[in-house]
């Protein structure tokens, strides 16, 4: 059985943009210019479509997953920008890990966050979410741990309203993220969810250059 829902991230972004625009049109502060923040790399082309649809300012929140030892794709935690590490306690217990076991991995990912911030912002200051409606966008949510780290970073900067938006997510992630976002907009949460990529015909890995092009095209 095929589970393809989107041709690529641009297609997913167009579909998500329509839903976000509809939601903001219903919100009391919908007339304010929102801040649309992408989770690089995959969330950037999706967020660009959302920003175009809602006339929002586009920027990024750089976050990195903390992978399990020997299984880097299995996220047991994440960190965003200069925020604290957020661990998935259930995963740590399941794998018999402690935070100390992941100290070297955390340090490496912290270095990668700094590298990406320097690359993507090129000297620009971090976006200021204070008092604004913020839409945090990714191309999909599996465990949601990376999005949670970004949401925790956002809340430290006092946004007025935080919306987490993704084209597809696991049912568990949709439920869990409601604890950290004012609203979760997820177009599809299939019970057959295994990985984000299974719902895209084209889910190629993006590069820093891809992110640069999208951000440069929408720079003020």
* pLDDT score for 100: 94
Residues 40-64: what's their mean pLDDT? 97
Asked if the bond preceding 41 is cis, omega within 30° of 0, the reply is yes
Q: What is the CATH number of the domain that holds 13?
A: 3.40.50.2020
* pLDDT score for 26: 67
Tokens of 86: 């957020």
Q: Is the pLDDT of residue 65 over 50?
A: yes
Domain count, the chain: 1
Residue 99 lies in a domain: no
* pLDDT score for 73: 81
- Strand ranges of the sheet holding 71-80, from the earlier edge strand across to the other edge: 63-68, 71-80, 86-87
Residue 58 lies in a domain: yes
* CA–CA distance, 152 with 180 (Å, rounded to integer): 7
Q: Which residues have C-beta within 8 Å of that of residue 12, sequence separation ≥ 6?
A: 5, 6, 46, 139, 167, 168, 200
Tell me which residue range forms the domain holding 178: 9-63+126-217
* CA–CA distance, 184 with 165 (Å, rounded to integer): 6
Q: How many Cα atoms within 13 Å fall on the side-chain side of residue 108?
A: 9
Collapsed DSSP state (helix, strand, coil) of residue 73:
strand
Residue 100 lies in a domain: no
Tokens of 46: 């999706």
Residue 119 lies in a domain: no
Q: Is the pLDDT of residue 30 over 90?
A: no
Q: How many Cα atoms within 13 Å fall on the side-chain side of residue 201?
A: 7
pTM: 0.93
Residues 40-51: what's their mean pLDDT? 98
Q: Is the pLDDT of residue 28 over 70?
A: no
Residue 85 lies in a domain: no
Residue 26 lies in a domain: yes
Q: Are 208 and 119 in contact (CB under 8 A)?
A: yes
Residue with tokens 């989107």: 6
Residue 68 lies in a domain: no
Residues 4-10: what's their mean pLDDT? 95
DSSP state of 34: P
Q: Is the pLDDT of residue 144 over 70?
A: yes
Residue 23 phi, psi dihedral angles, 5° rounding: -65, -45
Terminal alpha carbon distance of the chain: 44
**In sequence order, what are the beta bridge partners of 80?**
63
DSSP state of 200: B
Give the number of other CB atoms < 10 A from CB of residue 37. 27
Find the length of the chain: 220
Residue 20 lies in a domain: yes
């Amino acid at each position: 059985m095929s589970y393809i829902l989107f041709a690529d991230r641009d297609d997913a972004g167009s579909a998500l943009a329509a839903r976000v625009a509809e939601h903001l049109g219903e919100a009391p502060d919908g007339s304010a210019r929102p801040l649309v923040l992408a989770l690089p790399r995959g969330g950037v082309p999706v967020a660009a479509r959302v920003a175009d649809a809602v006339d929002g300012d586009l920027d990024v929140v750089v976050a990195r997953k903390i992978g399990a030892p020997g299984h880097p794709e299995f996220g047991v935690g994440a960190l965003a920008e200069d925020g604290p590490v957020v661990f998935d306690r259930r995963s740590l217990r399941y794998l018999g890990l402690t935070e100390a076991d992941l100290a070297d991995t955390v340090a490496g990912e912290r270095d990668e966050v700094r590298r990406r911030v320097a690359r993507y912002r090129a000297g620009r200051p971090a976006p200021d979410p204070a008092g604004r409606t913020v839409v945090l966008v990714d191309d999909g949510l599996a465990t949601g741990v990376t999005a949670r780290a970004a949401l925790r970073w956002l809340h430290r900067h006092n946004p007025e309203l935080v919306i987490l938006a993704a084209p597809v997510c696991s049912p568990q992630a949709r439920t869990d993220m409601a604890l950290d976002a004012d609203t979760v907009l997820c177009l599809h949460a299939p019970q057959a969810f295994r990985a984000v990529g299974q719902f895209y015909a084209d889910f190629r890995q993006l590069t820093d250059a891809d992110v640069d092009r999208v951000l440069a095209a929408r720079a003020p």
